[in-house]
Chain A
Amino acid sequence: MLAQQYAAIKRDLDQQGIVFSFSGYLSEGILYSLGEALREKMTLADTDAPTVRRVFAVFVEQMQNIIRYSAEKVTGATTRAVELSAGMVTIGMEGNTVFIVCGNTVRNDDVPRLRERLDHLRSLDREGIKSYYREQLREEPEDGSRGATIGLIEIARRASEPIDYDFDAMDDERSFFCLKVRI
């Protein structure tokens, strides 16, 4: 029963081409370790260096978005400041394309603004994304955003196709947010 249950989860991930998956509390430490494993795996698979860097760059921005903005969070200080944020990250292959899907809980109040930012990015072509990046690079960060806008632009810029996103309402206060990026 036990093996069957987990084999089913594994099969499900395999069928979707998912090579790495993590669900639970994410931290900067996990970002670092998963990121290293991801780069090693891609390098061993003879992926060219610029592609490895592009995938890695998207991975870092996606992970930091969860760590900073997940609505499900534990913070505190033990021997140092700790920020643990619930979410999931999966990395896989669709043919020759690498994809990264991240998911985390967000507050419903934040959904319209996030949707607006993502729709705006989706409406831009390569040149548009580039000039939006240049503009944001010179802007002061918005209150409470810790640089979210430039992070999303960075993701869109490294992506090979327009980014995909979706929200699934959980209750009156929260929704599950997913962002899929193909590189």
Chain B
Amino acid sequence: MDSLNIPATGRTPAVAFDFASGHLRMSGESYPDDVATFFGPVFTALRAYLADADPTPIHFDMELLYFNSSSAKVLMNILQMLEAAAKAGRPVSVVWSYEDNDESMRELGEDFSEDLQHVAFSLRNVPVGAIG
């Protein structure tokens, strides 16, 4: 399956899904003027990838500096899709990065991971300026 690469804009994150290696990454800021338009193609690609019986372990790097509440719902859906894949037996790890002093982003990581049972989820503290 082809990889999905969407460069970041002022208000949408960079999406780099390298499906062949199983390395997926989202970074930057997310407050699109229309969430459905931006995330539609991301979902389509991810859904198709997860539907494949590909046993490649998935590693998802979540490196967002800011996302609005409409994006929050979308991110939750992505995590739920990953959880379903992990439950079905595919190894999935998610690393949620947050910058030093960014208590809000760390807390959000806890909120989002609360009910993940099959995904290996971890929080990663990084220096200011290291992500995004």
Contacts from A to B (Cβ < 8 Å)? 28-29, 31-32, 36, 48-50, 53-54, 56-57, 60-61, 64, 130, 133-134, 137-138, 141, 146-147, 150-151, 153-154, 158
Taking a contact as CB atoms closer than 8 A, the residue among B11, B72, B103, B115 that contacts A150 in the complex is B72
In Å, the complex CA distance between A48 and B68 comes to 20
In Å, the complex CA distance between A133 and B99 comes to 22
In Å, the complex CA distance between A151 and B103 comes to 19
Interface pair B104/A50, CB less than 8 Å apart: yes
**B126 located at the interface, meaning its Cβ lies under 8 Å from any Cβ of chain A in the complex:** no
Contacts from B to A (Cβ < 8 Å)? 10-11, 31, 33, 65-66, 68-70, 72-73, 76, 99, 101-104, 107, 111-112, 114-115, 128
Interface pair A138/B76, CB less than 8 Å apart: yes
Interface pair B68/A61, CB less than 8 Å apart: yes
In Å, the complex CA distance between A50 and B72 comes to 18
Interface pair B104/A53, CB less than 8 Å apart: yes
| Chain B contact residues: helix, strand, loop or mixed | mixed
Identify the closest chain A residue to B66 (Cβ).
Answer: A53
In Å, the complex CA distance between A61 and B66 comes to 12
- Return chain B residues, CB-CB under 8 Å to A141: 73
In Å, the complex CA distance between A141 and B76 comes to 13
Interface pair A53/B65, CB less than 8 Å apart: yes
Interface pair A130/B107, CB less than 8 Å apart: yes
Interface pair A54/B69, CB less than 8 Å apart: no
Q: List 12 A-B contacts (CB under 8 A).
A: A32-B11, A49-B99, A53-B65, A53-B102, A130-B111, A133-B111, A137-B76, A138-B76, A146-B70, A147-B69, A150-B72, A154-B69
Closest CB of chain A to B106's CB: distance in Å? 10
Identify the closest chain A residue to B70 (Cβ).
Answer: A147
The 6 A-B residue pairs with the shortest CB-CB distance, nearest first, are A28-B33, A154-B69, A151-B69, A150-B69, A134-B111, A60-B68
In Å, the complex CA distance between A48 and B107 comes to 18
Taking a contact as CB atoms closer than 8 A, the residue among B10, B65, B111 that contacts A32 in the complex is B10
Interface pair A137/B68, CB less than 8 Å apart: no
Closest CB of chain A to B25's CB: distance in Å? 21
In Å, the complex CA distance between A36 and B11 comes to 10
In Å, the complex CA distance between A81 and B114 comes to 38
Identify the closest chain A residue to B103 (Cβ).
Answer: A50
Identify the closest chain B residue to A52 (Cβ).
Answer: B66
Interface pair A154/B68, CB less than 8 Å apart: yes
- Return chain B residues, CB-CB under 8 Å to A53: 65-66, 102, 104
- Return chain A residues, CB-CB under 8 Å to B33: 28-29, 31-32
